Structures are given as structure tokens and as C-alpha cells.
Structure 1
Amino acid sequence: MSKPLLILFGTFSGNSESCAEKAASVARQRGYDPVLENMMDSTADVLMQFDTALLITSTYGDGDPPDGTENFYEQVVNHPRFRLEHLRYSVLALGDSCYDRFCQCGKDYDEALEAHGATRFHTRVDCDIDYEDPCDAWIEGVFAILAEERLLAA
């Protein structure tokens, strides 16, 4: 029986979506049932429906969420009573180190989820313009931890 896994992405140029699709492909190969959602089309309530979530987001300009994802961002980052004690998560942040607030959107999600009681099971990775290798390494790290946890639970 495959285990559900939420993969949320927020993208401006398509890079975060590409990473999310890679993560979904690896998830299927490893026996998960990934649910891939664009933050633009989602609400924070989706986080209540899963035990494990991967958030992959770019940062637009100097620290802003990607266009169209502002509603999701506000719901997660600025909602004071949003509780997620059941949720385990990891964040992949994409950005451009030319900006002072490099990967700020991903950093904000990471801090907000922890503040809402969720448990970070893999360290956030911040990617610069050359994001492919760090993205691949993050995906491998995430699924190595999940595989280890499955073995321990068996």
C-alpha cells in the first residue's frame, strides 16, 4: 500500500515546479502516492490532510513569494492559530544570491511551519541559480530519511 505524500510548489519561472515533478517521480518509484499541488491553486488547509509534506518554492525578487502564491503564503506564514503538530515537512528554497533576502520565501515557510508545531524531518536546502544539483541532493536526502523511517516502523 502506497503512502500519501504532499508536494507543494510555488514557482515564478518553472524551476520549483520542475523540482517538484522530480520529487514526485522519485516518490512514486519509492512506493509513495504523491499529491502534487501548485501553491497558486491551493490553500493552507491542504496541510491538515497529510502527515508528510515537501514544500518547494522560489523567491521572487527580494524576498517575496512567487506571483499568484501570496494567498497561500499569507495563510501559512501569518496565521497565528494554525496548528500542524501532526505534520512532518521539509523545504527546498530556490532563489538568487544577488538579492539580500536570498531564498526568503522558503525560509519563511520553514520557520512558520515549525512555529505552527510541525516537525522538520530534513534540513531546508537553499538553492542559488544553479539549482539542479542541490535539488537532486535534497530529494535524495529526503527519501533516504523516509526510507530509514519506514524500515524502523516495519
Structure 2
Amino acid sequence: MTFTQILSTLGVVGGAARSWGPKLAAAAALISVGFGLSEYRSKPAEPAAVVSIRATGRTYPKTLATAYAAAWIKGAEALEAGKGPVDALGVVTEAWTAGRVALFDKAVAPAFAAVVPEGKADAEVSAADRAALAALWRAFAAGLSGSK
């Protein structure tokens, strides 16, 4: 039996394919569109806090770099003011620590504290709060890394 005969027997070529082929192709297309729509519809909308913290994560590295640059400027100013390199590096370290903590406190911490207030005892944090906080941490990390 030739390859063409086998295909004809299976209905891939020949008369059966001409009558059923377009119908099967249309059915397959509708089924795949249906699966695609159900997948889209079944995905719940992300909470606004998750969307917001992901956006913060996207912009955070640039503002963090600005704080880091400011620390090095302060170190350079310390050198110019007569401090030695070791002391000037101490100025850089202090300015960098203060700058990044201030930036985090301003840009990121409020979103986390909205879910679990700072200072709340671990024993008082519910499983739902931990899950919500974990979702925010993942979204922030996704924003930092540029993923969705």
C-alpha cells in the first residue's frame, strides 16, 4: 500500500478530506479559541496593591542607584574636605545606608505595612496576611527583575 493510499484510507486526502477537512479544522479552531478564552476568564484580576508594588519594583533600582550615587558624592566631598580614604569610605557607607533605608521606607514599606503593620507580633499575623504579604513580596521581586 502506498503512502497516498494510506492517507486516503485515513481520510487525510481524497474525497473524505474534502468534505470533512474544513469542518474539522473549523471545529479545532473553535475549541482552541474556547480554551484560550476560558483560560483568560478563569484568571482572577490582580489586586491593585500587587499591580502597584510591581510598578514600584520596576522603578526602584533607578532610584536606588540615585541614592547610591549620592553616597559616593558625599564620599568625594569628604575627600575634598581633607578626610582620608578610609574615613571617606565611612561617609559613603553611612550615606548609602541612610539613603537606601529612607528610600525603602518611603517607596516600599507602606505597601507592605498596609497588609501587616510594622511591629505587629508574628503570633498575631494570620495565614491570610502572610499569603497577602508573600504575594506583595513576589510582585515586588518580579518588578525588580522585570518579569510579570
TM-score (norm 2): 0.21
Q: Could you say which structure has the higher helix fraction?
A: 2
State which structure, 1 or 2, has the greater radius of gyration over its C-alpha atoms.
2
TM-score (norm 1): 0.21
Q: Could you say which structure has the higher strand fraction?
A: 1
